[in-house]
Chain A
Amino acid sequence: MKTIEMTVNGERVQALVEPRTHLADFLRDHQRLTGTHLGCEHGVCGACTVLIDGQPARACITYAVQCEGSEVRTIEGFEDDALMNELRAAFSREHALQCGFCTPGMLIAARDLVLRLPGAHERRIREEMSGNLCRCTGYVGIVHAVASVVQARGASNETPVAQAPTASSAPRFTPVEDRAEEKRQSASPVGAGTRIEDEVIVKHPLERVWAAFADMPGVAACLPGAEITESAGSSVKGRITVKFGPMRAAFAGAAALERDEAAKRGVIRGAGQDALSSSRARGDITYSLSDAGGGSTRIALGIDYSLQGPLAQFSRGGLVKEFVGRMVAEFAANLDRRLAAGTLAPPPAAQLDAGKVFWKWLWSRIKAIFKLRRRAL
């Protein structure tokens, strides 16, 4: 718990709060100012918009502790505000509210707009109000209401929008830098659907690699972020910790190996659960070995994965795919490195955090590719 002090609607308040209490909960539950509403609690809908030090802000993604010493103003703090009263009258006249849930946030955003952008025209009003969602009115009344208040205050000169010059008169020139595009690319291979493939060539004969791959704990430990806690024959138990920006998950579970001696193919089937988020991940890693000539072996890797639970429930599936792609790439890198060292054991304990191991490895691979190309030329 932390003691905080701030000014709310002109009154000095002091309170003991948990750091995780967001400003909206602080205002609503601690100060009983319930006009600040919670519509999404992730900063999109705008129902919780208040003024912090005079500027509109989301009270749901601002924590009360961050407002120490600040001046906070909620809808309840505008009783004698002439402009707010003008807006209130306009909202009622133009039928800019129905259920009223979005209205306080809407008014606070609208007041800021009127003050900040005198003469704003309809398109600009719509853009500026787009941080506040209303499910009832279809915005027509809201836009009319705001526009009418903007108009009543005069000043019809909309701030000109920064316009880039047109291409017609552009002078031509040759840039000094002359790089190949490939130099800086960080692309890792991405396959279709939720299958991802990668390939690595190691300078060891096929039979030796095949034998090394029988070491299930050793193979499993090449998975970035893996920790093996138990192993018996071709199966292991343990967990994989993954870090994705500020997100982190630890999937505890088990994996088992199936091998096809004749085809030199194997499948590691793994599944685990992140207890806190109750999310689940499953991945089948297939590897297929073939002779790459000159005592080298080509390892073709593939992963079929699925993610379930809260961590899966986002529309940006491309990010997950990209992430798994990096994971496969690092798995391949670890195999490569360990086989070079002669054995697959011992396991590292590092989590996958690209920009560290992976990044160095990627550079080395890219350099290698370039070396090969130069030779080819």
Chain B
Amino acid sequence: MKPAAFDYMRPRDVGEALKALRGANGEAKPIAGGQSLGPMLNLRLARPKLLVDVSRIDSLKEIKDEGDAWRIGACVTHAQLEDKALPGCELLAHVARRVAYRAVRNRGTVGGSLAHADPAADWPLVLAALDAVVRVAGPAGSREVRADAFMTAAFTTVLADDEIVESVRVPKPGAGARWGYYKFCRKTGEFPEAAAALLLDPERRTARLFAGALDRPPQPLDGVARAVAQEGTASADMIAAALARLAPGLGPAARKLRVTAVQRAILQS
């Protein structure tokens, strides 16, 4: 199980990375931690001609407090967040600790997870619920895309071949904000079968609830979120109906499991 041959380069900065990607005509793949890409390379499912290693670009590794938000560089690892690189944001540490395994978290990055766009991954779901904004670096400069619109389908994002994720801006929830995150995995560290993330922020009058692990991008359950904000709860039927609309292919057992995940995320909040 060895990868097909590829070339490798390690750009010094974002500009050099973009140039390399542009020059490869879609045959290049950026790599950061490589914790999802690596297995696909070894299995020869992915066969890029060139790997552009962005993991050592300093500007992508910064974590900043911007007052009303945190800015997390694309190459910040799960382990850094797990180890509370952002004091005061328990949710990010809570989520980070549950991403795969520590040895994977030490190298896997937040930006890499977003760009890889596995629908069962943690960050696309949680960052959508937190109303984060993804900053994308491309040939014409940077652009910003809301996290909940970043993934367009399984393993597919708005990123063009010559764009990379630069950072993610996570708005700080107001005082008294509450969150819930529940994922159901058959085994510790494995892909979840069902997941849900909820943010209730009375100060900013925001309620955001997303269901994940649906073979498609995280789906917003706005009506349910509103009900939870207003009444503190939402009925199983209401959740089931919302999921039936958003993920119509689910069988009864699969839907039940996802309803449970949403209910438990709500309970946690």
Q: Give me the interface of A with B, judged by CB distance under 8 Å.
A: 2, 18-20, 22, 25, 41-43, 46, 49, 52, 55-58, 60-63, 65-66, 68, 109, 112-113, 126-128, 130-132, 162, 164-165, 167, 170-182, 184-187, 189-192, 244-248, 276-277, 310-311, 316, 318-319, 321-323, 326, 353-355, 358-359
Contact = CB atoms under 8 A, between A and B. Distances in A.
B85 interface: no
A18 B5 contact: yes
Contact of A66 (B3, B34, B223): B34
A63 B103 contact: no
A19 B39 contact: no
B35 to A, nearest CB: 6
B23 interface: no
B119 A319 contact: yes
Given A57-B107, A185-B219, A246 B45 contact: yes
B201 to A, nearest CB: 8
B215 A174 contact: no
Contacts of A359: 152, 158
A179 to B, nearest CB: 5
Given A62-B107, A186-B217, A322-B216, A162 B90 contact: yes
A285 to B, nearest CB: 19
A55 B103 CA distance: 7
A186 B144 CA distance: 20
Contacts of B179: 164
Contact of B3 (A20, A68, A358): A20
Interface size class of B (residues with CB under 8 A): 35 or more
Contact of B46 (A55, A162, A173, A247): A247
Interface string B213-256: 00111011111011001111100000000100111110000000
Interface stretch (B12-20, B48-56, B57-65): B48-56
Given A176-B206, A180-B222, 4 more contacts: A19-B51, A20-B2, A58-B103, A323-B154
B232 A247 contact: no
Interface stretch (B67-75, B93-101, B132-140, B164-172): B93-101
8 contacts: A22-B38, A42-B38, A43-B35, A58-B103, A130-B101, A173-B230, A276-B44, A319-B154
Interface in B186-228: 187-189, 191, 200, 202, 205-207, 215-217, 219-223, 225-226
Contacts of A353: 156
B104 A58 contact: yes
Given A57-B107, A175-B229, A177-B222, A245 B202 contact: no
A123 to B, nearest CB: 11
A18 B31 CA distance: 17
A42 B122 CA distance: 19
Given A181-B242, A244-B155, A187 B216 contact: yes
Contacts of A170: 178, 200, 232, 269
B206 A245 contact: no
Contacts of B44: 276-277, 310
A246 B103 contact: no
A310 B154 CA distance: 19
Nearest to A179: B222
A19 B7 contact: yes
A316 B192 CA distance: 11
Nearest to A59: B103
